[in-house]
Structure 1
Amino acid sequence: MLAKLTSKNQITLPKAAVSSVDAAEYFEVTVEGGRIVLTPVRVQNAQAVREKLEQLGITEQDVEDAVAWARR
C-alpha cells in the first residue's frame, strides 16, 4: 500500500489498512528504527468516565480520598 504525504504533513491512510485494525479516530505516533508506527488509540470522553463512576457508586470524595492516599 502506498500513501502520499501532502505539503501540510497529512497522509490519507488506505482503507484496506484502516479496516484491518479496530476502529479508531486517534492514533499514537512513534518512530522506531526509521519507521513511523501508528497504533490505534481508544479515547474515552470524560462524561463516559463520570457515568461509569456513578454506576459503581464512586463519589468525587472517594476519588479525592484515593488521590490523597496515593500521594502519601
Structure 2
Amino acid sequence: MLAKLTSKNQITLPKAVVSAVDAAEYFDVVVENGRIVLTPVRVQRAQAVRDKLQQFGITEQDVEDARRWVMSSPT
C-alpha cells in the first residue's frame, strides 16, 4: 500500500492497515535499518502522569506531602 507524506510531515494510514491492528490513538515510532516502524500503543492516563512525575523527580511522598499541605491551609 502507498501512503503520501504531506508538506506538514503527516501521513494518513490506509484503513486496511489500521483495521489489521488493535485500535490505537498513539503509535511508538522508531527507525530500524532505514525503515519507519509504527507500533500501536495504549497510553494509560494515570501511568502517563506517573511517568511525567518520575521524569521530574517527584515521588509519591512529595505528592502526599503537597496534598496534606493543601488540605491544612486555610481557605
How would you bin the TM-score normalised by the shorter chain? 0.5 to 0.7
Alpha-carbon RMSD across the aligned residues, in angstroms, is 1.5
TM-score normalized with structure 2 length: 0.61
* Distance (whole Å) between structure 2 residues aligned to residue 14 and residue 2 of structure 1: 8
The list of structure 1 runs, each at least 4 consecutive aligned residues, that deviate by more than 4 angstroms after superposition, is none
Long gaps (5+) in structure 1: 48-62, 65-72
Q: How many residues are matched?
A: 49
TM-score normalized with structure 1 length: 0.63
Long gaps (5+) in structure 2: 48-59, 62-75
Identity of aligned residues (%): 84
Equivalence for 2:30: 30
Q: SS of 1:27's equivalent?
A: strand
